Amino acid sequence: MNTTTAFDRVFIEALEIETIIGIFDWERTQKQIVSLDLEMNADIAHAAVTDHIDDTLNYKEVAKRLIGFIEKSEFQLVETMAERCAEIILNEFPVNWLRLKVSKPGAVRGSRAVGVIIERRRAGWQAP
């Protein structure tokens, strides 16, 4: 990313995926929905000029990768799931920084959802 450009972000909101998640016996046998909200830095200036998908962060490819990974996973903790998803994004896509919210809807009675929000960045990368 050119450090003279703005800190542009590409986002995915409320990506719902079924998976095995949780620590209780019933959670180990019954798929539940997790919901992801994701913000990723991306230099989108060139794509705005060319109007071509190859010049930007392809959010559909990010979503497909996370869906495939999470559907096959069987984590006990949303913390672990969030960390592994962040690693995938930073290692496989042109992203230097991300904020990821992983929610388990209905996990606590009376709440809409519970979960974690993490921010991760490549080592040595500084926001412009």
Annotated catalytic residues are: 104
Q: What are phi and psi of 88, to 5 degrees?
A: -60, -50
Could you give the CA distance from residue 9 to residue 95 in angstroms, rounded to a whole number?
10
Nearest to 44 by CA among 66, 86, 11, 12: 11
* 43, containing H or E segment: none
Task: Extract long-range pairs of 52-58: CB within 8 Å, 24+ residues apart.
Answer: 56/10, 57/10, 57/93, 57/94, 57/95
103: tokens are: 């929610």
